[in-house]
Amino acid sequence: MNCCCVCGRNITGTSWLCHKCAKDNGVEDVAYADWPDWLKMFANQEHAERRREAGPLEIPFSMCPEAEMLAYGEWD
């Protein structure tokens, strides 16, 4: 289950914020690139948490070179 990166509430879908936090922080219709830095930091933490839960093999390898090495290293 994904969580809102600000309040920790369970959310459906893949966004980083629940509707309330998005609205409260004025980023409801704002692209991630234009978020305030502190909010990006929260989202990054939540991203790391979700990656950890998904496990290394669930991550697209292009996003995580270390996972690629773990997965294929022994076949080299």
Residues 6, 39, 43, 67: which binds Zn ion (CB under 5 A)?
Answer: 6
Query: Are the beta carbons of 6 and 22 closer than 8 angstroms?
Result: no
Residues 16, 21, 39, 43: which binds Zn ion (CB under 5 A)?
Answer: 21
Interatomic CA distance for residues 75 and 41, integer angstroms = 36
CB of 67 to Zn ion, least distance (A): 29
Please count the other Cβ atoms lying within 10 Å of the Cβ belonging to residue 5.
23
Q: Does residue number 69 form part of the binding site for Zn ion (CB under 5 A)?
A: no
Q: By rule CB under 5 A, what count of residues binds Zn ion?
A: 6
Q: Does residue number 7 form part of the binding site for Zn ion (CB under 5 A)?
A: yes
Query: Are the beta carbons of 28 and 15 closer than 8 angstroms?
Result: no
Residues that bind Zn ion (CB under 5 A): 4, 6-7, 9, 18, 21
